[in-house]
Amino acid sequence: MTSQIIGSNMLVLFLQHDELDDLGLCCGAAEGREMKRLVVDTLSNLGYESNGDMKIEVFDGKQGILIFAEADLESLVRYMRFSDLEDLIDAVGAINARQIRSKLTYYMDCYWLELRGARDAIEKAALQLGEYGHHIDAFDYNEGVLEEYGTLIEERNAIGTIRSAFYSCRS
């Protein structure tokens, strides 16, 4: 499955026919509740939440189906900035964030931790991490700057990687 957010309110998905079969969907079911569930799950995995009504259009092709889902999307991304590695390590040791995807980038002499996931889990983690670092709102900072100029340290599970490296031997 290929998915992409376009603009502030559009999700585009492409699924090959065998992927549809793996999910237990067919083009007829694609217009029903199962397709909406797939769209909502995909949005959640991308770090977005949909509020309110959703318009879904499905186009069947030879290679698979193309899905356009239009909805009010709310980003579930938070950034934390740590001025030193020890603060980051201490912060990660103080939280339990298994349901959060995290990415770590080094940029301008700081460690930038990106948090994505369910709203409640992100907000709780951001509050706990705020004792050790600085909360930077996603709207205040362009993630493209980090991707372009920063050095990526861990892309998918920064919190888990740091916990494994620094806390697996401690009791």
CATH at 128: 3.30.70.1950
Tell me the mean pLDDT in the region 100-112.
Answer: 92
Assess whether 28 and 107 both reside in one domain: no
What confidence score (pLDDT) does residue 123 get? Answer: 82
Exposure class string for 127-151: b at 16+ Cβ within 10 A, else e: ebbeebbeebebeeeeeeebeeebe
Assess whether 118 and 137 both reside in one domain: yes
Assess whether 22 and 48 both reside in one domain: yes
- Domain extent at residue 87: 77-167
Task: Convert the pLDDT of each residue in 45-104 to its tens digit.
Answer: 777 777 678 898 888 888 888 889 998 877 678 889 999 999 999 999 888 766 688 999
Amino acid at 127: L
What confidence score (pLDDT) does residue 98 get? Answer: 65
Instruction: Pick the last residue of a domain from 15, 43, 75.
Output: 75
pLDDT at 170 over 70: no
Rounded to whole angstroms, the Cα distance separating 39 from 17 reads 17
Assess whether 158 and 84 both reside in one domain: yes
Assess whether 55 and 107 both reside in one domain: no
DSSP string, 74-87: EE-EEEEEESSHHH
Instruction: Using DSSP bridges, classify how beta strands 10-16 and 2-6 pair: parallel, antiparallel or unpaired.
Output: antiparallel
Bridge partners, residue 64, by sequence: 16
What confidence score (pLDDT) does residue 23 get? Answer: 80
Per the CB < 8 A criterion, the answer to whether 111 and 81 are in contact is: yes
Instruction: Give the H/E segment covering residue 13.
Output: strand 10-16
Q: How far is CA 13 from CA 54, 93, 139, 159, in A?
A: 14, 37, 25, 29
Per the CB < 8 A criterion, the answer to whether 115 and 99 are in contact is: no
What tokens were used for 109?
A: 């002499």
Q: What is the mean pLDDT of the chain?
A: 82
Instruction: Pick the last residue of a domain from 18, 48, 75.
Output: 75
Assess whether 60 and 88 both reside in one domain: no
Q: Which residue has the higher pLDDT, 101 or 8?
A: 101
User: Residue 138: pLDDT band by 50, 70, 90 thresholds?
Assistant: low
pTM for this model (two decimals)? 0.61
User: Residue 143: pLDDT band by 50, 70, 90 thresholds?
Assistant: low
Instruction: Pick the last residue of a domain from 33, 50, 75.
Output: 75
User: Residue 42: pLDDT band by 50, 70, 90 thresholds?
Assistant: confident
Assess whether 19 and 42 both reside in one domain: yes
Quote the number of domains for the chain. Answer: 2
User: Residue 171: pLDDT band by 50, 70, 90 thresholds?
Assistant: very low
pLDDT at 169 over 60: no
Q: What percentage of residues in the chain have a pLDDT greater than 90?
A: 25
Assess whether 17 and 86 both reside in one domain: no
Assess whether 23 and 104 both reside in one domain: no
Task: Convert the pLDDT of each residue in 115-124 to its tens digit.
Answer: 887 777 788 8
Assess whether 139 and 92 both reside in one domain: yes
